[in-house]
Amino acid sequence: MFLSENVVALFKKGVLKLEKNDDGEYRRVAEATCVIEPFPHTLARELGEEIAGHLFDDDHAIRQELESIDLRMRVGLQNVTVRPDEALEPIALITPATIKDVNATVVEDKKSGRRWLSFSFVLVFSLEKKAARNFVLDQFGRTLLWTFERMQGDLLATARIKEAGARMADVCGDGIESVTLSTEERSVTLTAEDGQRLRQEAKDLRRKAAH
């Protein structure tokens, strides 16, 4: 999800429930709502330029027309490390975890006229292990440091996709400013600069997967 380590977020809400899996069996899961407020442009860019563009303009200011937006994100399975403080050992390793219900809402102080973003997401994980159950009960309502790491298989798959995009962008130059890739669902326009960025992101992902 985020590339930065130790992202500060409030564990605002915890819901314990039964979830039916593909085999028709039920398992106990937690749905932990986390809130980052204020949510900065730097973190938005870590989620992708497209998402950052929905929230901020070219000057990194919150878009004037924005009030609230639900964001569709495909981040894959995550390993999530949680700390109470950077200097302390982790209090939980949540794995595997999925992300859903991602939302950004503008909050405004009418007296000062200041606007900022409140960013929320729901972390879903199994409660079969006692450590996971204790985490929900003990840490609910606290502001914690969260580090997200995509599970290795997903990291490598994403790296390959980014490398493919970089190769497509290599045709830019000699009068070709950009190349557009299209599917039935969406289209993406890539420039030579995008190709360099994608290649570097792929290298970073492969480096993470190797550790």
Token couple for 20 = 């039916």
What is the rounded distance in angstroms from the CA atom of residue 170 to the CA atom of residue 183? 20
Q: What is the mean pLDDT of each run of 10 residues along the chain (211 residues)?
A: 94 91 82 97 93 94 95 88 94 92 95 94 93 93 95 68 82 72 66 85 72 49
Q: Please answer whether residues 141 and 11 qualify as being in contact, where contact means their C-beta atoms are separated by less than 8 angstroms.
A: yes
Q: Which sequence spans correspond to the domains of the chain? A: 7-150, 154-210
- Main-chain dihedrals φ then ψ at residue 176, nearest 5 degrees: -100, 110
DSSP 48: -
With CA atoms as reference, report the closest residue to 133 among 26, 27, 35, 20. 27
Token couple for 37 = 């407020």
Q: Please answer whether residues 166 and 201 qualify as being in contact, where contact means their C-beta atoms are separated by less than 8 angstroms.
A: no
With CA atoms as reference, report the closest residue to 168 among 197, 185, 192, 202. 192
What is the rounded distance in angstroms from the CA atom of residue 207 to the CA atom of residue 211? 7
Q: Look at residue 14 in the predicted model and tell me its pLDDT.
A: 92
| 98 exposure class (CB count in 10 Å sphere: 0-12, 13-18, 19+) | middle
Q: Look at residue 82 in the predicted model and tell me its pLDDT.
A: 97
Q: Look at residue 67 in the predicted model and tell me its pLDDT.
A: 95
Q: Look at residue 156 in the predicted model and tell me its pLDDT.
A: 67
- Give the pTM: 0.70
Angle at CA of residue 126, ends 120 and 129, nearest 5°: 130
Q: Please answer whether residues 34 and 123 qualify as being in contact, where contact means their C-beta atoms are separated by less than 8 angstroms.
A: yes
